[in-house]
Amino acid sequence: MARKFFGTDGIRGRTNEGVMTAATAMRVGQAAGTHFLRGGHRHRVVIGKDTRLSGYMMESAMVAGFTSVGMDVVMTGPLPTPAIALLTREMRADLGVMISASHNPYEDNGIKLFGPDGFKLSDEAEAAIEILLEQEPLLVQADRIGRARRIDDARGRYIHAIKQSVASDIRFDGLKVVVDCANGAAYQVAPSAIWELGADVIAMGVEPNGTNINKDVGSTSLDAIKSRVVEEGADIGIALDGDADRLIVIDEKGQAVDGDQIMALIATRLQARGDLKGGGVVATVMSNLGLERYLESQGLTLERAKVGDRYVLEKMKAGGFNVGGEQSGHMILLDHGTTGDGTVAALRVLASLVRSGKPASELLHVFDPVPQLLKNVRYSGGKPLETDSVKQVIADAEKELEGTGRLVIRPSGTEPVIRVMAEGDDAAQVERIVDRICDAVREAV
């Protein structure tokens, strides 16, 4: 069935347009609430959000939706996505909701749903909710309408939980760390957690005003933190995105370190301790070929999944892996959480920095990446990848790269763009191939 509401990572769009309206949010609350009304107990949903101005509107609408079908609501205020996954499980809730558009600008918003186990919903559960969205809601009688309340200790609960991911003998004393919270959901918890473990924290992107989330700060806008790390003489920089489920690291020289290098570091350190499960790492089709080659040199495997941390997670659970993620910075460490958590991944990197005594630039250069180029082509309609001319150009490119590189071409699951990625040992060849395919897609649209 074609999806009308759910994309790669929940429901997302421009606020007050299309599917991202208060009316839709209320209907999602009614539909998701109805789907999870199972058993005779008093049902509960945990709702968190990031710092977008539209979060107030979407939260209120979803509270109305859930309570109207008989669910009690617990609101946490701004918290990272992984915190909502954690609290859903810890509070024995039937459902968790994160209102966020992640790394997108403030004009966008989104809805991510978690089941009672703290994991993102399966395709099957989302499909069932889509069906309910097209039906009249099953409203309860007046005496069964749900209640709503806010809790004040949610931040403290999350900080306490994530600090448990660091061994008790590790302190960050002596480390100067720049923490960029993207004016987003982690603006209070991430600097606090790192400071509590002993680091000298320089916080930036911690003054949200409703419209500055991800604006010139955070993991998708790195110029500011790169400069700040160098200016402050910091040991390392930690860049999170708007809902803090992804991490990009900046070394002491001001160079960015992506998710592939972070996964390689965490996996090999766990392997050395005998704690790596599954015999390797799960990443997506976008992860660098250099990561795959490095892991093979260590006797480990790289299992590739479709783009989207939920698909990484599905493969991790199926294969018994405990480390997975995306090049973009989503790090899933199943020993410590049920979804991507940028702050937990940051704590693991900082702990490795302390144990190794090496500078970040040395510690985090685990492998030499293969030349890789990704370009996006925006389109307004149609299916350009299904045209004969584009298919032929892609086929020619695959033949040219055979044995020396990879080609990944896919439509985005969150915006109307075609993503064209190629990698191989010859950088000039890679650039030529990507440009050729992009030109073909533009002509087709």
Active site residues: 102
Query: In the numeric block, which tokens belong to residue 22?
Result: 């208060």
Alpha-carbon distance 206 to 193, whole Å? 14
Contact by Cβ (8 Å): 112, 41: no
214: exposed, middle or buried (Cβ count in 10 Å: 0-12, 13-18, 19+) = buried
- Give dist(CA 219, CA 182) in Å, integer: 7
- How far apart are the C-alpha atoms of 250 and 238, rounded to whole Å? 6
- Sheet harboring 247-250: ordered strands across? 200-204, 176-180, 236-240, 247-250, 256-257
Helix axes 123-133 and 22-35, enclosed angle (nearest 10): 120
How far apart are alpha carbons 131 and 41 in whole angstroms? Answer: 25
Q: Are 185 and 78 in contact (CB under 8 A)?
A: yes
- Adjacency order of strands within the sheet including 301-305: 301-305, 280-284, 323-325, 331-333
Write out the H or E segment, with its range, that includes residue 44.
strand 44-49
Residue 101 backbone zone (phi > 0: left; psi -120 to 50: alpha; other: beta): alpha
d(CA 443, CA 121): 38
- C-alpha R_g of the chain: 22
What is the C-alpha separation between 80 and 348, in angstroms, rounded?
17
Query: What is the sign of the dihedral through the CA atoms of 86, 89, 91 and 93?
Result: positive
